[in-house]
Amino acid sequence: KQEDNTSLATQEANGRRYCAERGYLLDEAHIFIEVHTAGELWEREKFSRLREAMRSRAIDVVVTRDLDRLSRDQRHQAFFLVEAERVNVSVEYTDMVLEDTPDAQLLLAIKGYRLS
């Protein structure tokens, strides 16, 4: 969907602006941009590097435009979010506002659902 102003360059610019507005230090080594259309989680090199950066505590926050930018597979999204929570890394969205409530968690799950 390049036509709705969500190109990779636009997403990166928005993410950088989001981080700057919040005073987050942004290490260029921790910008993970990946074009991957398949549903396979384990073949995504940069996604795997992101997960390793979380586990090693090299990062405190993951900033993404929307949940589906991490993965379009609900199972992968859930796995990622549980992993982030386990290592105390927050996930923030530049284009989504979610409160930490059961209703918001349900909306997140619905948003991540896809028909196979």
pLDDT in tens, 3-41: 555 788 888 999 999 999 999 999 999 998 887 665 565
Cβ-contact 111, 67 below 8 angstroms = yes
Q: What is the pLDDT of residue 63?
A: 95
Distance in Å from the first CA to the final CA of the chain:
20
pTM of the predicted structure, to 2 decimals: 0.77
pLDDT in tens, 45-71: 888 899 999 999 999 999 998 887 888
User: Could you tell me which of 89, 56, 88 has the C-alpha nearest to residue 70?
Assistant: 89
Please, what is the Cα angle at 74 between 93 and 110, to 5 degrees?
75
Q: Where is pLDDT greater, at 114 or 71?
A: 71
Give the confidence band of 106 by pLDDT, cuts at 50, 70, 90. Answer: low
**In whole angstroms, what is the distance from residue 96 CA to residue 60 CA?**
19
- Does residue 112 register a pLDDT over 60? no
Cβ-contact 54, 62 below 8 angstroms = yes
Q: What is the pLDDT of residue 115?
A: 44
Distances (CA, A) of 77 to 22, 23, 49, 50, 111: 24, 26, 16, 13, 10
Contacts of residue 18, defined as CB under 8 A and 6 or more positions apart, other chains included, come to 63, 92, 94
**Eight-state DSSP code of residue 23:** T
